[in-house]
């Protein structure tokens, strides 16, 4: 019988203890540390090849890492190690993201399982709970990055809600405000009825889904028996209509421009206007204008000086401006409005229609465009230099086709809503 010794190699390779031991050795010996060079040192102590740095896109402290993080961090690690071996002053800066909306939503979901709401705790105790969540998942994320062998400088790790980042946010906010690039105003924003906060345009995820086109007959004022039919995907918002628009070159409605219609269910007289934004091939060629609940209608309303009538509250329930529908959820109101229009003989037809609905990127609820007083960054003065840099070749996109995508985005960018109604996140200095 063969006697086995304690030094004998296992027949199976177990990477866990070996990788953990070597990773700890690399860290302890400072192999991942970036260069520390004094600002006044000039070229002394610097590599002649120059610096190379990557700031790790900070993972959200909402949960564990996934395969997307694994491949992204592997690519960053390859680039970092390659430049380190070539003699560059190399820094891969790690960190995690406080992820305001996402993290708060996760903590609120956990509280809901206990039958609690954040208001049951109050702001400070809720923040304590959130910091506990952050501590748990931050530790898990760092452990996972280590298990990948990520060669980042852990001595410089950052958290996007730490004191340094908070100070930077306040400094940048104050600087942009002093330059006139930040302002507060009443504007149409994306409101999430579940998260109870504004979200920016890039945080709205548009998904194609089955819907309908409702064809509604609006009586023409002073012309009994004559109607102007409009097609809409959101009949509940008609309660806030302040005009109906047609294209100025559409011969079908030439004699109606300047006249008025009577808004069904509300008995309010509103004008028929001409605007080139109208698509003559959509629906009937006549569209309802609800400036307080549609992005395009908001801009149209500004051009024509139309009233902005908000018909919903922050919970997406109909408010006092909705008449007899006050208190109904927006979709319950839709059902009731359609029934009432049918009863009055003002619903011409309903067609199946596939539409693109905007959803909150975190909770998945359909967002509601609403007029709200918020803080915004003026985007045009910031976008113009970037557009110029791309057009003259100083910035180049690979693949090239994304140049067109970028320019389209920048040339049509709207002012960016930066305020949020959250307890977990940066507090702007106002």
User: For 266-318, what is each residue's pLDDT tens digit?
Assistant: 989 999 999 999 999 999 999 999 999 999 999 999 999 999 999 999 999 99
Torsion of CA 248, 253, 257, 260, to 10 degrees: -140
Residue 137's Cα: distance from chain center in Å? 23
Given a cut of 60, whether residue 1 has pLDDT beyond it is: no
Average pLDDT over all residues of the chain? 92
Q: Give me the pLDDT at residue 40, please.
A: 52
Average pLDDT over residues 260-266: 96
5-9, 70-74, 352-356, 358-362: least confidently modelled range: 5-9
* pLDDT at res. 37: 56
pLDDT tens per residue, range 231-244:
999 999 999 999 99
Determine the pLDDT at residue 241: 97
Output the 3-class SS for 324-379: HHCCCEHHHHHHHHHHHHHHCCCEEEEEEEEEEEEEECCCCCECEEEEEEEEEECC
Do 320 and 262 form a contact (C-beta atoms < 8 A)?
A: no
Residue 320 contacts residue 326 (beta carbons within 8 Å): yes
- Spatial contact of 359 and 206, defined as CB atoms under 8 Å apart: yes
- Mean pLDDT check: name the lowest of 215-219, 221-225, 358-362, 392-396: 358-362
How far is the C-alpha of 224 from the C-alpha of 241, rounded, in Å?
21
pLDDT tens digits, 29-84:
999 998 865 445 555 567 888 999 999 999 999 988 999 999 999 999 999 999 99
Query: Residue 146 has what pLDDT?
Result: 94
According to DSSP, the β-strands at 95-96 and 158-159 are parallel
In this predicted structure, the answer to whether residue 422 has a pLDDT above a threshold of 60 is yes
pLDDT of residue 429: 87
- Report whether pLDDT(413) > 60: yes
> How far is residue 68's CA from residue 167's CA, in Å, rounded to a whole number?
31
Q: Give 394's pLDDT tier (boundaries 50, 70, 90).
A: very high
Give pLDDT, residue 43. 59
Q: What is the pLDDT of residue 380?
A: 95
Residues 47 and 88 sit within 8 Å (Cβ to Cβ): yes
Q: With cut-offs at 50, 70 and 90, classify the pLDDT of residue 16.
A: confident
For CA atoms 364, 369, 101, 422, the dihedral sign is negative
Set out the domains of the chain in order of their start, with CATH numbers: 15-161 (3.40.50.620), 203-360 (3.90.740.10)
The span from the CA of 6 to the CA of 8, in Å, is: 6
Share of the chain above pLDDT 90, in %: 85
Find the farthest-apart pair of alpha carbons in the chain and give their distance in angstroms, rounded: 110
Measured CA distances, 308 to 163, 221, 395, 399 (Å)? 41, 21, 41, 43
């Amino acid at each position: 019988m063969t006697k086995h010794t304690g030094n004998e190699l296992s027949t199976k390779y177990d990477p866990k203890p070996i990788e953990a031991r070597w990773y700890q050795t690399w860290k302890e010996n400072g192999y991942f540390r970036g260069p520390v060079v004094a600002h006044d040192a000039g070229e002394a102590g610097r590599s002649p090849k120059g610096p190379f740095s990557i700031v790790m896109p900070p993972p959200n402290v909402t949960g564990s890492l996934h395969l997307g993080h694994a491949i992204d961090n592997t690519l960053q690690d390859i680039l970092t190690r390659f430049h380190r071996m070539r003699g560059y002053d190399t820094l891969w800066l790690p960190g995690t993201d406080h992820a305001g909306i996402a993290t708060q939503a996760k903590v609120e979901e956990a509280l809901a399982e206990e039958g609690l709401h954040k208001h049951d705790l109050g702001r400070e105790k809720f923040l304590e709970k959130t910091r506990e969540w952050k501590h748990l998942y931050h530790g898990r994320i760092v452990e996972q990055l280590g298990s990948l062998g990520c060669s980042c400088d852990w001595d410089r790790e950052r958290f996007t809600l730490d004191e340094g980042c908070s100070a930077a946010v306040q400094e940048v906010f104050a600087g942009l405000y002093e330059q006139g690039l930040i302002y507060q105003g009443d504007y149409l924003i994306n409101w999430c009825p579940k998260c109870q906060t504004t979200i920016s345009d890039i945080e709205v995820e548009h998904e194609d889904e089955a819907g309908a086109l409702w064809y509604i007959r609006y009586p023409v004022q002073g012309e009994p028996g004559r109607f102007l039919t409009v097609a809409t995907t959101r009949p509940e918002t008609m309660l806030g209509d302040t005009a109906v628009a047609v294209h100025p070159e559409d011969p079908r409605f030439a004699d109606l421009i300047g006249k008025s219609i009577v808004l069904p269910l509300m008995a309010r007289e509103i004008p028929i206007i001409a605007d080139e934004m109208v698509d003559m091939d959509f629906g009937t060629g006549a569209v309802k204008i609800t400036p307080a609940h549609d992005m395009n209608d908001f801009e149209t309303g500004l051009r024509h000086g139309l009233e902005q009538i908000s018909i919903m509250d922050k919970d997406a329930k109909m408010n006092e401006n909705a008449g007899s529908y006050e208190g109904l959820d927006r979709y319950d109101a839709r059902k009731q409005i359609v029934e009432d229009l049918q009863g009055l003989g003002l619903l011409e037809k309903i067609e199946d229609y596939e539409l693109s609905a905007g959803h909150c990127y975190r909770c998945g609820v359909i967002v509601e465009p609403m007029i709200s007083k918020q803080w915004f960054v003026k985007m045009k003065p910031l976008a113009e230099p970037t557009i110029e840099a791309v057009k003259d070749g100083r910035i180049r996109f690979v693949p090239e086709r994304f140049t067109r995508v970028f320019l389209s985005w920048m040339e049509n960018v709207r002012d960016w809503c930066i305020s949020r109604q959250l307890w977990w996140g940066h507090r702007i200095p106002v």
